[in-house]
Structure 1
Amino acid sequence: MGNRGHTQYRTTRRTSNFSITLYIFLFFVLSMFVFFYYTKDIVEDEQKLVLTSEKKEEPEFDENEDNSVWEASKSHGLHPCIKPTAKYKAALGWNRYLTVKSNGGLNQMRTGIADMVAVAHVMNATLVIPQLDKRSFWQDSSTFSDIFDENHFIKALRGDLMIIKELPKEIESLPRARKHFTSWSGVGYYEEMTQLWKEHQVIHVAKSDSRLANNELPLDIQRLRCRALYSALRFSPPIERLGKKLVEQLRTRAKRYVALHLRYEKDMLSFTGCTYGLTDAEAEELRVMREKTNHWKIKVINSTEQRIGGFCPLTPKEVGLFLQALGYPPSTFIYIAAGEIYGGNTRLSELKSYFPNVVFKEMLATPELREFANHASQAAALDYLISVESDVFIPSHSGNMARAVEGHRRFLGHRKTITPDRKGLVEIFDQLEAGQLDGSSFSHLVRHLHKNRQGAPRKRAGAPPGVRGRARSRLEESFYQNPYPECICSSRE
């Protein structure tokens, strides 16, 4: 009896312990289920919150937008190629020095400096860091190191030629051969110029722009020009930093943007003699300015003939019509890469009536721009950087910057660059204004006219048929506008 009771007690205790354990296990499982269930909701809510927050920070983007207006042409496997050939040899320089006075605005000086690098190599000379133009229209007192990364320029071209910051003191007082080298000259011309070394250790070049021909130069000289312009001639660190910052700010406002080089500035209109759309008072102001500018050879210009011939920059209103006809929506962000627009906000409003999202660099980073005040070339460098990085680049006139940016964008992979056919557009604009075209027909004509003017790969164009002599070299497409084929190769090369 006693043993059976004891056994029953142990069995009852084991059953009780098992039940307690089972209850604890079930409670644990239930707790874990509840925990994971509610944690899942919390995580999902947090993810939704993060996604919502990220979505708010993204620039607005219209899903119904025509993406073809942003797409660049196929590059067909083309890529930059600027390495020298196996036959290439660096210039020794020795005791021969080339000093240079660069002339013009920023991009005229940039391409001129690249030319001088090649000329120094051909003449087997040491290049002294060029002096920049301080007497041009822009009146910019900037030195080379204010605009460009001087040390990088010297190091990057170390395998090509010797570059020094200034003449050695023992050389400074020696007489120099002062030369105005002939424009668009070939290698043979500069090989003849080496005769100057027999009597002089220093040759001073008074002007640097367009000193080399566009075509028929040795491959290694052409590639040296590209190495100088696209690799060595980098902007100074402050300019590079601010340029990058401005691009980032644009990207936070818009997923994509158009850089418009709107050459509707007082000096450009006066130089070209274009007065279409201006008041009589404005036209007279430009005429007086042209007559007072000594180095502008043509003083009397027929404005109507200039416009019909396609020599005038597009007006802000014409640019608005042009972009609208190409298919860009009104929400498109447009960065104006230019100086002060002639006529100010009154004239600019003609563009804003079509595209209200128009911005200048001053609207993006005013405090940082203070150090660039009164330095037009440094400010132009910012416009250059932003234009090169844009999704689409459109120049309203074919000036030095327009050509330089187009060439750089071609070099970097044929980024979309639309060059307006101004002569063809004038005829279409006039037909639209006369009521001879409706909106649909106008858009069709504009798109057809620019089908093959959007930066697709092509070899550099020569001079127009029938042109001979020195004028032929002058009318050829600029090497720096399209460095293909010398500096842009196929994947097979």
Structure 2
Amino acid sequence: MAKSARYFKNSCITPHPSFFLHFLAVSPMKSSRNQSPNPTLLFLLSLLTLSSFLGICVLTFYGIPHNSMPCPPISPSSPLSPILLASLSSISKGYPRNDEPTLSSSVMVPLPAHGVGANLNLSAEEKEFWQQPDGEGYRPCLDFSLAYRKASARISKEKRRFLVMVVSGGLNQQRNQIVDAVVIARILEAALVVPVLQVNRIWGDESEFSDIFDLEHFKKTLQADVRVVSSLPSTHLVSMQSIENQIPFHVSPVWIRARYFHQLNEEGFLILKGLDSRLSKNLPPDLQKLRCKVAFHALRFTSPIQNLGNQIARRMWIEGPYIALHLRIEKDVWIRTGCTTGLGPEYDEIIDKDRESNPDFLTAKLNMTKSARRLAGFCPLSAREVARLLRGLGAPSNARIYVAGGEPFGGSCAIQPLVHEFPNIATKKTLARQGELTPYLNRPSVLAAIDYIVSLSSDVFLPSHGGNMGRAMQGHRAYVGHRKYIKPNKRMIVPLLENTSVSDEKFRRTIQKLHKYSKGQPEWRKKKLDRDVLAYPVPECMCKH
């Protein structure tokens, strides 16, 4: 009570008597001649002034706490400007529940970019490499429509229809499917059962949703959009025949409602499997915003994972700017892409045998030769090619590089060309202290989550191959402040890499020209058809302030 009284006292303006005297002195109520002011007018004026100040005090004391969000503390480690924090806060409009986390506090925030500053030891080319892109004023803005917010009052309380989603793949593939699961639950006006993570047959990870993601945070962040429950009611009997897995690509909300809404009303639940990339990338604006809300706010890692990831990121960050390289040269990547490893015939033969025994693993064009796949840009860049690309882009030889990803096929031999050019290489295993990673050594999804956290805080991110991690990092880095992201133009640089007659200087000029507009500048999703809003959050989830 005392605290409230102090707040009330400090919130009100205490008028000094001279204020009223000065006001009366310049008021038209007083005659220009030295006559006394009209007593009636003086009384009315005093009453009006007193009422105004009382109104200000009451509004100050009662108006702010009830329906607005608390301002998040701005820590020295936060790279978000007050403008960005304000824009993050504004996207919670229409969600008045007191126990819902504010979106400005729920977003996963990276450590601040180091910038170039006045470092005299860097050449102009090196300074340009570390220079962060201009965000052009784009900030997060998840301003849901009035119709969406009105419907939320009913949908968020749904207790008759339930959607169960079985998601598969690695961490970032699972994240994408969880995002679409929330959107489909919203389309069908159903409650979402916590998604089931299918055991990955490549890595054998048996983690459940709550082992990786903060379940309570997930529920609270989305409580105004969909109702999230831990399990189906015991009255619902599930059989194998209940699982729907025949979903075509690029399905629209209209198709989903026409196909499943009646079934949901009849049976009370729907189980979907094999959703990966099935939902259309071109949804109504509110559903695109919901995708961003799920990916960038609701899907937060559990506290132990987040804390360990932050600790490892700080150990990398404290030494200065660094590059995060998603080096995709694991064995399963070579099998899936149908490409040569660049490590010699012995290694290629191993991959060919595994591919023949698992033909369904091959995801690239089946009717293309290995050489044609490579020239078309379907193959990952090797460690040697990445090293040459970084040199061409202007990365200094003493640049510190964090290598994200699994164990490279070929071990240290596969990564040696990169180490030779850039000796300051680190991984989560070299940065972690004794015992920190031990609980997670058999849980690849958790190790991938740590890579995600450390990569998000890097000054520069570069993937050696496309994929879910690269797209997720592209959009997330844009959303939290337009951190530099370089997407290799493999189709154009592979011929250069294979042409031994090209000089280093010509190679450098060509590489920089090819990637001039691929360094993290805001790029509209609608510029090309079927772009993923989670990789290109402008303009649905970000707008100019």
TM-score above 0.5, yes or no = yes
Matched, 1:270 2:335: yes
- Report the number of matched residues: 415
For 1:99, what is the secondary structure of its paired residue?
strand
Q: TM-score, normalised to structure 2's length?
A: 0.73
Residue pairs, 1:386-425, within 5 angstroms: 386-425=454-493
1: CA distance, partners of 2:199 / 2:234: 24
| Cα distance in 2 between the residues matched to 1:247 and 1:338 | 15
**Cα distance in structure 2, aligned partners of 1:222 and 1:295:** 32
Number of the residue aligned with 1:352: 419
SS at match of 1:155: helix
Give the one of 291, 299, 321 matched to 1:233: 299
Report the secondary structure of 1:424's partner residue.
helix
Counterpart check, 1:103 vs 2:168: yes
Matches of 2:441 and 2:341, distance apart in 1: 31
Which residue does the alignment assign to 1:481? 535
Q: Please state if 1:82 is matched with 2:142.
A: yes
Secondary structure class of the residue paired with 2:164? strand
Tell me the TM-score normalized by structure 1.
0.81
One-letter code aligned to 2:383:
P
Alpha-carbon distance in 2 for matches of 1:249, 1:77: 31
In structure 1, C-alpha distance between the alignment counterparts of 2:301 and 2:263, rounded to whole Å: 33
Within the candidate set 216, 231, 248, 1:151 is matched to 216
Specify the alignment match of 2:264 in structure 1: 197
Q: Name the larger-Rg structure.
A: 1
2:9 is aligned to none
| Aligned-partner residue type, residue 315 of structure 2 | Q
Identity score, percent? 35
In structure 2, relative to structure 1, the CA distance for the partners of 1:273 and 1:347 (3 Å cut) is same
Query: Is the 1:138–1:376 contact (alpha carbons within 8 Å) kept by the matching residues of 2?
Result: yes
* Amino acid in structure 1 at the alignment position of 2:417: E
2:290 maps to 224
SS at match of 1:419: coil
- Please state how far the C-alpha of 1:271 moved relative to its aligned partner: 1.2
Q: CA deviation at 1:240?
A: 0.4
* Rounded Cα–Cα distance in structure 2 between residues aligned with 1:238 and 1:276: 36
Q: CA RMSD in A?
A: 1.8
Look up the SS of the partner of 2:203 in the other structure: coil
Correspondence for 1:343: 410
Q: Residues 294, 97 of structure 1: CA spacing in aligned structure 2 closer, same or farther, 3 A cutoff?
A: farther
Over residues 313-340 of structure 1, what are the superposed CA-to-partner deviations in whole Å (9 max), with x where a residue is unaligned?
1110111111111111111000001111
1:169-184 correspondence runs (5 A)? 169-172=234-237, 177-180=242-245, 181-184=247-250
> Would the aligned equivalents of 1:259 and 1:335 in 2 still touch at CA under 8 Å?
yes
Give how far 1:183 is off. 2.7
Deviations 1:34-67 (A, max 9, x none): xxxxxxxxxxxxxxxxxxxxxxxxxxx9632132
Note the C-alpha offset of 1:94.
2.5
SS in 1 for 2:421: coil
- Contact residue 182 and residue 192 of structure 2 kept, 8 A: yes
**Match in the other structure for 1:13:** none
Partner deviation per Cα, 1:56-83 (whole Å, 9 max, x = no partner) = xxxxx96321321111221111001124
Q: CA deviation at 1:197?
A: 2.2
8 Å contact kept, 1:177–1:200: no
Which of 178, 184, 189 matches 1:119?
184
Question: Is structure 2 residue 350 aligned with structure 1 residue 285?
Answer: yes
* 1:284-303 alignment runs, 5 A limit: 284-296=349-361, 302-303=369-370
**Equivalent residue for 1:305, pick from 352, 357, 372:** 372
Do the aligned partners of 1:105 and 1:136 also contact (CA within 8 Å) in 2?
A: no
Residues 401 and 424, structure 2, Cα contact 8 Å, conserved in 1: yes
CA distance in 2 between partners of 1:395 and 1:186 (Å): 30
Residues 177 and 248 (structure 1 numbering): CA distance in 2 closer, same or farther, change over 3 Å?
same
Q: Does 1:242 align with 2:308?
A: yes
Q: 2:442 aligns with which of 359, 374, 377?
A: 374
Deviation at 1:107, TM superposition (A): 0.6
Distance of aligned partners of 1:198 and 1:257 in 2 relative to their CA distance in 1, 3 Å threshold = same
CA 348–327 in structure 1, closer or farther in 2 if over 3 Å, else same: same
Q: Which amino acid aligns with 1:240?
A: Q
Question: 2:190 matched to 1:132?
Answer: no
Query: Which amino acid in structure 2 is aligned with residue 225 of structure 1?
Result: R
> Which amino acid in structure 2 is aligned with residue 105 of structure 1?
G
Deviation at 1:301, TM superposition (A): 5.5
Change (3 A) 1:189 1:173: closer
2:129 is the counterpart of 1:64 = no
- How far is 1:274 from its partner? 1.4
Counterpart position of 1:467: none
Q: Any idea what SS the aligned residue of 2:271 has?
A: strand
1:309 aligned partner, one-letter code:
A
Q: 1:345 to 1:276 in 2, by over 3 A?
A: closer
Query: What letter matches 1:487 in structure 2?
Result: C
Question: Is this contact kept in 2: 1:290–1:299, CA < 8 A?
Answer: no
User: 5+ unaligned residues in a row in structure 2: which ranges?
Assistant: 1-117
Q: Which amino acid aligns with 1:457?
A: P
Whole-angstrom CA distance in 1 between matches of 2:403 and 2:472: 17
Question: Is the 2:292–2:533 contact (alpha carbons within 8 Å) kept by the matching residues of 1?
Answer: no
Q: Whole-Å Cα distance in 1 between the matches of residues 224 and 347 of structure 2?
A: 53
